[in-house]
Amino acid sequence: MVAAPALLIAAPASGHGKTTVVAALARLHTRLGRKVRVFKCGPDFLDPQIHALASGHACENIDFRMCGEDDARWRLARAAEGADLILVEGVMGLHDGEPDSAELARRLGLPVLLVIDASAMAGSFGAVAWGLKHYRDGAPITHVLANRVGSDYHGELCRATLPADIVWAGALPRDLEAAMPERHLGLLPAAEIADLDARIERMADLLAATPAAGLSPAVEIGASPRLTFPELLADKSIAVARDAAFCFLYPANVECLEAMGAKLAYFSPLADATLPECDAVWLPGGYPELHGPAIAANRGMRESLATHVAAGKPLLAECGGMMACFETLHETSGAAHAMFGLLSGSVRMQTKLAGLGMLEAELPEGRLTGHTFHFSTADTALAPIAQATRSAGKSTEALYRVCRLTASYMHFYFPANPTAAARLFLP
């Protein structure tokens, strides 16, 4: 059993400012000389990039369905061994998802700091907080922060509505200069927000004047068996795409590959003319739809990838990585761009969501869990080797294989089955 100050930051719904508050708390305590570790509930790739910048350490994911409860407990316990503060950002609304953030907080023993966008309310503020605390099986909400208030007086109106069992954590003003810019998959990647550090610093300054700055309840975190990783990838080199178009990588996946002995070599499919020397390639998700012209122009990378696949070497392409492997990508504007041409067919962007949810898949290599979230559809005559399914058993995403190229809209979580993950990168 280990203990450390810890909080789970939640909200009534997406868009109330959880990410900004978590990043501001992380930066505030980091610049005070404390070691802060941040976690994100759910399969998010974008919020963790912001938290990594704010805290100076990689932000890991917690999700009982995709990652497993033992995985979450082990990672929290590992962080608690050296952290002065652990912050966990909830997913969507407090009672959204399965399990939701309220259940995660109860099962992990984490007190909840509730963030409510109070910009369009005053007298209802306390009712919302009370309702979220006592709904269903309840949630361990200890404090509440009013976000985006119009004035000090507005904040006091909100404070006056609170029930006795929820403590006031202060108020933050509306501040467009600290807000995080968004697009179709959520917040912008951290690398694309030129003034992100200044935005985080600005919000940390505002937060420093609130009671929330001093919240640090000690929490006992039950130890879980340390994860073990078989050294199935010893002496294997894996080329990992990482640039503006391919930027969705779980830190836990990278750690898993390295723990199994793999040597990772990062490259840019946008800028590099050829692959680095490698035994396997990993094309993770990202935004190929925003870089169509650059991908189309990089003939050297197209030829290098084709040579790699033709040689029977493994290649894993997830979501945006798979999109880039088809022959053509069509934008919503009608513009079309040549992709790497490793898979026959095309993908077409659309303005509405095409896939969302937690998944599991039975591959020849074994069972893997993960999730899907995309705004494009694939048109191909390729026959799937498997279908990823949701918990109810409904098929949602096809998994394709050409030679040793494995492709799907599904993002895999490698630590859920390290052996199966390793086999995807072996001949």
Decide if 190 contacts 53 (C-beta within 8 A): yes
3-state secondary structure of 107: helix
Closest to 368 measured CA to CA, from 299, 416, 297, 315: 416
Decide if 28 contacts 204 (C-beta within 8 A): yes
Is the bond into 99 cis (omega within 30 degrees of 0)? yes
Phi, psi (deg, nearest 5) at residue 293: -60, -40
DSSP state of 12: S
Q: Strands (DSSP E) along 72-132, which ranges? A: 85-89, 112-117
Query: How far apart, in whole angstroms, are the C-alpha atoms of residue 158 and residue 174?
Result: 15
DSSP 331-371: -TTS-EEE---SEEEEEEE-SS--EEEEEEEEETTEEEEEE
CA–CA distance from 236 to each of 52, 250, 281 (Å)? 28, 20, 11
Give me the catalytic one of 67, 256, 319, 325: 319
Q: What single-letter amino acid sits at 245? A: A
Q: Please confirm, yes or no, whether 319 is among the known catalytic residues.
A: yes
DSSP state of 30: H
CA–CA distance from 79 to each of 37, 97, 116, 365 (Å)? 7, 25, 28, 31
Decide if 418 contacts 412 (C-beta within 8 A): no
DSSP state of 403: T
Cβ count within 10 A of residue 179: 13
3-state secondary structure of 180: coil
3-state secondary structure of 230: coil
Q: What's the full length of the chain, in residues?
A: 427
Decide if 330 contacts 295 (C-beta within 8 A): no
Query: How far apart, in whole angstroms, are the C-alpha atoms of residue 39 and residue 22?
Result: 10
Decide if 244 contacts 191 (C-beta within 8 A): yes
Catalytic residue numbers read 319
